[in-house]
Amino acid sequence: MVELAVFEKEPNAVEITVDDIIRDGFSNKPKFKTFVAEELDGTIVGMALFYERYSTWKGKTLHLEDLMVTEAKRGIGAGKKLYTSIMKYAQENSFKRVAWEVLDWNVNAIEFYKNTGATVYDQWRVCHMNEQSLTQFCNENI
């Protein structure tokens, strides 16, 4: 996660802990699922984290939150296998759409996604409200 944050030029943005991940992903009601890419010795070299969403237009959809391969292992096909696993999972489980975001400067990823048939929308803007802004907004609008 830290390596991904560094790659995305947000090295201090990771707030979540290993305990959070264990609780949220491996409890009786997991909030997300993951696929991992491993070497023969079991070393994890990549991961894809996703979760179910619902669209008022499409119905059941998946959100691909993160797809990453550790820098030393990029170019060996692990990312494509993870991506393919997500798409096959979505198809086999009758999801109507898989959605994700990609940074505009990540040209390699954008080209990869386009080459797989994905549509990369330039006109949509991603909106986030962080915890501090959420607290401030709610305190001002009670």
Q: What is the CATH number of the domain that holds 49?
A: 3.40.630.30
Residue 7 within any structural domain of the chain: yes
The whole domain housing 30 covers 2-100
Determine the pLDDT at residue 7: 67
Which pTM was predicted? 0.85
pLDDT in tens, 36-50: 999 999 999 999 999
Tokens representing residue 48 in the block: 């894809």
| Residues labelled as active-site residues | 113
- Alpha-helical (H) ranges within the chain are 2-7, 18-25, 78-92, 107-115, 131-140
Helix (H, G, I), strand (E, B) or coil at 39: coil
Say how many domains are in the chain: 1
Strand arrangement, sheet containing 44-55: 33-38, 44-55, 59-69, 97-99
Within 10 A of 71 (CB to CB), how many other CB atoms are there? 11
Task: Confirm whether 125 is domain-assigned.
Answer: no
Residue 129 resides in a domain: no
Q: Is residue 127 part of a domain?
A: no
Local mean pLDDT, 10-residue blocks, the chain (142 residues): 72 81 91 96 95 97 96 94 98 98 94 97 92 95 87
